[in-house]
Amino acid sequence: MLITLALVALLVTSIWLYSKHRLSYWAKLGIPSPPALPFFGNLFDLILEKRGRWVFEEKVYRKYTKGGLSGAYMFMWPILYISDPEWIKQILVKDFDHFSERQTFTSLNENDRPMNESIFNANGEKWKKLRSLMSPTFTSGKMKHMFHLVCEKADALGVFCLKEATTKRFVNIKKACGRFTIDTIASCAFGLECNSFEDENAVFPAKVQTFFEFSYLRMLKIMLVMIMPFIGKFIDVGVFPEEKLFFQNVAEQTLAARRKENKRGDFLDLLLEAQASEEKDSEDQTKPKVLNDLTIIAQSMLFIVVGYDTTSTAIAMTSFLLSKSPGIQQRLRQELQEVVEKEGVLTYQGIMEAKFLDACIMEALRLYPPSPILERVCSKDYQVPGTNITVRKGDLVEVPLWSIHHDEKYWPEPEVFNPDRFMPENKADILPYTHIPFGCGPRNCIAMRFALMEAKVALSKLVLSFDMKTAPRFDNIELAAGGFLLMPKAVNLTLKPLRDEWNLLGQSVECCDTDVLPDRHLSDL
């Protein structure tokens, strides 16, 4: 018994001493960091914040940043926060070869294989090949081809909001936009009709919503796999929820059916074309191809999962900010009305050239970036320019986007919604690399064009069709706890249908003398 106790005491002491050594890493380099618990580091601060990791990182940014650098620990793994715009450019763009990788989520579970194969989870040569093959699917030309599909779903969003507005005191625009994005992605990625607006209990939105529910246990599992990848390689810790099987089955069945049907020019067709092109151009037919069927299924699943919440949050938060700023909302409506008058309808070119529409979305993404943290893993030792600090291979580097986007040093009155910051005549005043909601460098968001097209079409339809105001007692937004994405619990707005714009929703209503139609029951439509 004494020998056992002595061994346990020796083990605990050894772990404590090793932990103390590891948790002094930043102090030895002269980089300030918050107090850390032995072994756990700042883990509990990172995962127990009520609003998300960026809340903790905001505290670190404000209190500990020195010369654009600060540090923290996830368990005993050091995290370096880079907040100086010049260093962000240097690390993420100029010296990308040192920071080309992300943390990976490798799982032993056979059902997790598609998630393991996604471009988000790929590094090295595999990522380069996937990126080069997939990038052409998001060109402007391909976006134009899918524009009419997005417009159809945006019309359905308008009709849904009209029905909600006439039967309820307010509309949860976040929920409505979530149904829009999932229907749009399902249509553009798979040619599937989810009918999320017609069926309150539609399967697709329910499954994807559950996928994004982060319990503290799930977050802990994810962090363990991120920090110690060997755990995922040797132990099935169940990082991904069971809902992944639903999306996997959908992707598999659609892929099989598409090979027997006519093409429709959607995301899946474009991936199949890239696969055929890879097979045709490959000199070594015995060498495994990057775009095999499993990889195509993986990218399709990723398109659904990643595109759902980020885009719906961007639309909802822009709508919320416009609702609190009636003058800005009217100015945007006037710009969009001029686009319609010029073209007769909303066109891809017209929406993409609408400067104030773009400015409103960019400003909303500054205030509420859906992905408030940008991270990279150091792939080979790197000395931070102008310092004696060496970032070692395997170290995690993060850019605290939320904090930079809200720093008065870069943004006068940072909490004020002011789209004029992003108008062409003022863009020169924005310091480069202080507004990067889609990331920057070669590993920025590959679907940025598609996401912006979605957001602009949906927002245009909403602004043209409704006068939006915040619902009583819902003047402030409550953000969901936990997770890695910024997610509002709800965005509740009152929507008044505009008399002259109901035709944009395909509605037949009689004219009235007021600018806004009065509330009506659904049976009156």
Contact between 259 and 276 (Cβ < 8 Å):
no
Ranges of H-type helices in 135-259: 140-167, 173-190, 203-211, 216-227, 229-234, 243-258
**Separation of alpha carbons 507 and 161, rounded Å:** 12
Q: What is the CATH number of the domain that holds 447?
A: 1.10.630.10
For residue 369, what pLDDT is reported? 94
The residue among 467 and 247 whose pLDDT is bigger is 467
Residue 477's nearest CA partner among 210, 214, 174 is: 174
Q: Name the band, by pLDDT with cuts 50, 70 and 90, for residue 517.
A: very low
For residue 525, what pLDDT is reported? 25
Helix (H) or strand (E) holding 275: helix 267-281
| Residues recorded for the chain | 525
Structure tokens that stand for 275 in this block = 């696969």
Ranges of H-type helices in 65-119: 85-89, 113-116
User: What mean pLDDT is reported for the chain?
Assistant: 82
Reported as a single tens digit per residue, the pLDDT across 301-351 is: 778 777 888 899 999 999 999 999 999 999 999 999 999 998 888 999 999
* Arithmetic mean of pLDDT, 413-437: 96
Residue 441 in 3-state DSSP? coil
Residue 466 in 3-state DSSP? strand
Q: Which amino acid is at 456?
A: K
**Separation of alpha carbons 33 and 26, rounded Å:** 7
Structure tokens that stand for 473 in this block = 């007692």
Residue 425: CA count within 13 A, CB half-sphere: 2
Count the domains in the chain.
1
Q: Which amino acid is at 516?
A: V
State what percent of residues in the chain have pLDDT above 70.
82
Helix (H) or strand (E) holding 270: helix 267-281
Structure tokens that stand for 383 in this block = 């000395």
CA-based Rg of the chain, rounded to a whole angstrom? 25
The residue among 430 and 21 whose pLDDT is bigger is 430
Residue 470 in 3-state DSSP? strand
Q: With a cut of 70, say whether residue 51 has pLDDT above it.
A: no
Residue 249 domain boundaries: 2-524
**Separation of alpha carbons 349 and 343, rounded Å:** 10
Structure tokens that stand for 297 in this block = 């299924």
DSSP secondary structure letter of residue 38: T
Please report, in angstroms and rounded to a whole number, the separation of the first and last CA atoms in the chain. 81
- List all residues 6 or more positions away from 447 whose beta carbon is below 8 Å from its beta carbon: 138, 303, 306, 307
**Separation of alpha carbons 435 and 372, rounded Å:** 11
Write phi, then psi, for 399 (nearest 5 degrees): -110, 115
Query: pTM for the full model?
Result: 0.86
Residue 98: is it exposed, middle or buried by C-beta count within 10 angstroms (0-12/13-18/19+)?
buried
The 10 Å Cβ neighbour count of residue 500 is: 11
Structure tokens that stand for 190 in this block = 């798979």
Reported as a single tens digit per residue, the pLDDT across 101-134 is: 887 666 656 666 666 778 877 888 888 888 887 8
For residue 251, what pLDDT is reported? 80
